[in-house]
Amino acid sequence: MANDAHELSWIRVVLIGRDPRVTLIRIAVIVVLVVLARAYVIAPIQVRGGSMLPTYQERGGNFVNRIAYLTSSPRRFDVVAIRFAGDHVMLMKRIIGMPGETIEFRHGRVYINGQELTEPHMDFENYPCDWEMPPRQLGPDEYYVVGDNRSGPRELHEAGVVRGERFVGRILLKKNLRWRR
**Which residue, 115, 107, 113, 94, is CA-closest to 154?**
107
Handedness of CA 123, 125, 129, 135 (dihedral sign): positive
**Alpha-carbon span 98 to 138, nearest angstrom:** 7
- Integer Rg of the chain from CA: 23
Name every residue whose Cβ is closer than 8 Å to that of residue 17 and which is 6 or more positions away in sequence: 23, 26
5: left (phi over 0), alpha (psi -120 to 50) or beta: alpha
Residue among 143, 168, 179 nearest 88 (CA): 168
User: Which of the residues are catalytic?
Assistant: 51, 93
126 vs 132: CA distance, rounded Å: 19
How many Cα atoms sit within 13 Å of 92 on the Cβ side?
32
